[in-house]
Every structure is written in structure tokens, then in C-alpha cells.
Amino acid sequence: MLNWKEVLKYADNGNPEPDRRVEKSDSEWKEQLTDEQFQVARRHGTERPFTGEHCESFDPGIYGCVCCGETLFDANEKFESGTGWPSFTQPAKLNAIKYKVDRSFGMTRVETLCNVCDAHLGHVFPDGPDPTGLRYCMNSAALKKLEEA
């Protein structure tokens, strides 16, 4: 189980190797994704809070990357953070997420990306519930429901 110290270590020193890699051109991604999905996942955008389709859903299932389909989160780790974005306490597996220090907008945070295709997912913060203390604050537009748990 990851904790904040390990997340920072990955962000500063390199991430776990992914199981596979998916690389496409912008034009290939644009053909596959909606405009909003492309803006969020490929251009590091952020959807408006409380607008995403996965924000208020707590049904069982697995969430994957909207770009490559990689398994990212289990709905059992989802919680109501009150932020307006889907939030999880940990990824489905250690090497699903890539961590990158983000110093945009005058602050320092840790960006989360799909470790398989580099899609922007959101950010992770050290203010989540036990047992991890982590809050993976994700954009609904970067996620797709893969299956029921």
C-alpha cells in the first residue's frame, strides 16, 4: 500500500515500469476521444468540479484509462471527498500510475498520469482517509468504467 512518502519518491526519482506502453500521435488520440477527453487527458486540462459522470457514482466496478484502457482504480477505494472530482485512496496496482511534480499555477503538487500512455488523470494529495492518507483526485473525463467488480 502506497503512502505520501513513496509517492514523492516516485515523483522525484522515477516511476515503476508499466506492464506495457501505448503511444499514439495527437491525430490518432483525437480520432478516439471526445473533445473534452482529449483536452483533459492529452492536454492536461481539468474538468469543472461536480460535472463529471463518475463524480457521484459509487457503484462497484473497475475504472480504467479513457485512452488505453489500463486498469487504474477499483471502486472499492473510491470515497466522497467533497471536492467535485472522483477520489480514490489508492491505485488498483502499484505500477498503474506515473507521478510527476507539477509546479503550475503557483503551487507544488503531484500530477498523476496513466503509466501506460501518459494520459493526464489528475493529482494526488496527502489529505485522504486512512489507511493510505492519499486522495487521488481524478478527472471523470480521463476515466472509463471497465467492468463490475
The catalytic residue positions are 137
CA 58/CA 96 separation, integer angstroms: 21
SS3 assignment, position 90: coil
Cβ atoms of residues 44 and 121 within 8 Å: no
60 HSE (CA, 13 A, CB side)? 2
> Which is nearest to 148 in space by CA: 68, 27, 55, 58?
58
Cβ atoms of residues 64 and 70 within 8 Å: yes
CA 37/CA 53 separation, integer angstroms: 12
Q: What is the DSSP letter of 11?
A: H
Q: What is the DSSP letter of 84?
A: S
